[in-house]
Amino acid sequence: MASKVVSKHRASTDRTPAVGEWRDGKTTVIVFVSEAELDWLVAKKYLPEKKRENKAAIKHAIESVLSDELKAASQKNLG
C-alpha cells in the first residue's frame, strides 16, 4: 500500500494556473510513497517508526531528504 502526500490544500479557484503560474508562485506536488520508501526513510532516521502513517511527518521527511540532497549537491559544486 502506498501513501499519498499532498504538499498543500488549495481552493478550486487556486488550482487553475493563471498564465502558466500558480497565483501564489507555488506548485502542488503529489508524491506516492511505497512501503519500501517509508522503510528507507525510517532506516535513514528521516522518519520516526511510530509516525510512518502521519502525512505531515512523511512530508517533513521527504522535504528533509530533498534539502540534504540539495546541500550535498551545492557542496560538490563548490568543492
pLDDT tens digits, one per residue of 1-30 = 566 665 555 555 555 555 555 556 677 788
In 3D space, the residue among 67, 68, 60 whose CA is nearest the CA of residue 33 turns out to be 60
Which residues does 70 contact at the CB level (< 8 Å), separation at least 6? none
59-76: b (≥16 Cβ within 10 Å) or e: bebbeebeeeeeeeeeee
Q: Considering its fold, how many domains does the chain have in total?
A: 1
Question: Which 8-state DSSP code applies to residue 10?
Answer: -
Domain that holds residue 14: 3-78
Task: Tell me the C-alpha distance between 1 and 24, whole Å.
Answer: 33
Query: pLDDT tens digit string along 35-75?
Result: 999 999 999 999 999 999 999 999 999 999 999 999 999 88
The model's pTM is: 0.64
